Every structure is written in structure tokens, then in C-alpha cells.
Amino acid sequence: MSFKQNKAKFSRRHLLKGGVSMTLAGLFFMPKTVWAKHYLDADEARKLIWGDLIFQPHPVELSPAQMKSIKKASKTRVRNAKMNAWKTQAGQWFVLDQIIGKHENIDIAVGIDEKGQIKGIEVLEYRESYGHQIINPKWMAQFHGRDSSKVLKLDKQIKNISGATLSCRHITDGVNRLTHTWDQVLRSE
């Protein structure tokens, strides 16, 4: 009993401490810098990757078991059960996906051929954030299906930034996740 009380006290204190430091951090240390840049529309990306092939919408909903299994195989978290996907008669896929990294939130389009090989990857929309927004689901939600450059009027466009090279590892991981998704789910759809 006493242990429980102690534990409660302990966590309350930590909560308070955490809250104070978060607020301080928010006030002083978190510049809300957001950059966004629009590249291609989904249709343009599809044409680039697949030319004039005819695609039919083929939305896929992953079951919790599939998500778990894909996560295990690709070692990458599966955030969305619903996949924005299109398919040809011959089994070629065109998938729109979202990549979330530490600072970046990127919409990509990926072409996967009938053998599960990646045919092409295009970045459609790139957003970079230095602040707390990237982990805030509401902030993320406003981007779905929208052109963020119109949503975020406060921001400068990503023009030409020179700095330490940002790694594209999150895209590589995301594409790897899609390859495993094809292997486990899409190939038999």
C-alpha cells in the first residue's frame, strides 16, 4: 500500500517536472519552423512511373494481424491500415503513402510491378518541421489529401536549403515496408 502511494507521489512529481520543463522548452527552445514544398500531383507521378497504363482504384485495408506481420518483416512501424492504392489488370500497383520521420512528413508515390519490384518512387509533397508539430496528430491530420503550401500560409516554401545532409533513410524504410506489404498482401489481392 505504502509502496503504491510512494509510486503515485513519484509519478505526480515527475509529471509536474515534465510539464514545467516542456512548457519552458516550448517557450524558449522550440522555434516553430515549418517548410513545405509541393512537387508533383499523384496523376503526374503515375504517368512518370507507369506511362499510359490504365489503373483502377483498389483501396486495401490491412487487418491488425497483417499490420503486425508487415511490421515484423520490414522492421518498420505500419501507421495506416488503409492503403491508397490503384491496380492494373496485369497486377501492377500504384500506391500513395506517407512517410513520417523525426523532422519530415513526406507524401510519396510508389510503383510496384507484378513481381513485387519497385518501379519508381516520387516525392509528391515534402514538409519539414523543427518544433513540436511533427509529433502532434492534429497537426499531421491537416495534411491528409491536401496541399500543405495552401494550409500553412505562415511558412516559407522550402527553397534551397544548404545544411547537413538529411538522410532519406525514412523513405528507404517506408519503401521496404511497402515491398513487404506487396509480398504479404497485395500480391494475392
Partner 1 sequence: MCTKWVQVDRCKPLLGTYVDIHLAVDVAENVNRDVLIAASETAFSRIQSVQDLMSFHDPESELSGINRDAFQHAVPISPSTHDVIKTALDISAASGGIYDISVAHALVQKGYLPRHAYAAGRSYVSADWTAIKLQARSIRFDANIMIDLGGIAKGYAVDAAFEGLLQMPIPFTQIIVNAGGDIRMLDWQDKDIVLRTPARWKRTRFVDYTMQNTALATSIPGHGSPSSRILDPISHTRAHTNRAHIKNWLGWHTQKSISIFADRCMIADALTKTMYLAPERTDLLERFNVCGAIVDINGRIEAI
Point out which residues bind partner 1 (CB under 8 A): 25, 29-31, 33, 37-40, 44, 48, 121-123, 126, 130-131, 159-169, 171-172, 175
Closest to partner 1 by CB, 130 or 143: 130
Closest to partner 1 by CB, 81 or 166: 166
Closest to partner 1 by CB, 58 or 119: 119
- For residue 188, the minimal CB distance to partner 1 (Å) is 28
Cβ atoms 70, 171 nearer than 8 A: no
Closest to partner 1 by CB, 176 or 184: 176
Task: Provide the β-strand partners of residue 86.
Answer: 57, 94
User: What string of DSSP letters covers 136-153?
Assistant: -HHHHHTTTTS-HHHH-T
- For residue 74, the minimal CB distance to partner 1 (Å) is 16
Max CA distance (Å), the chain: 71
Q: Which three cell numbers stand for residue 187?
A: 500480391
Distances (CA, A) of 185 to 66, 162, 177: 8, 40, 12
- For residue 8, the minimal CB distance to partner 1 (Å) is 30
Query: Tell me, what amino acid is at 24?
Result: L
Closest to partner 1 by CB, 130 or 187: 130
Distance, CA of 186 to CA of 31 (rounded, Å): 42
- For residue 185, the minimal CB distance to partner 1 (Å) is 23
Chain position carrying cell 501507421: 79
Q: Which three cell numbers stand for residue 137?
A: 496528430
- For residue 79, the minimal CB distance to partner 1 (Å) is 19
Task: Provide the β-strand partners of residue 108.
Answer: 97, 123
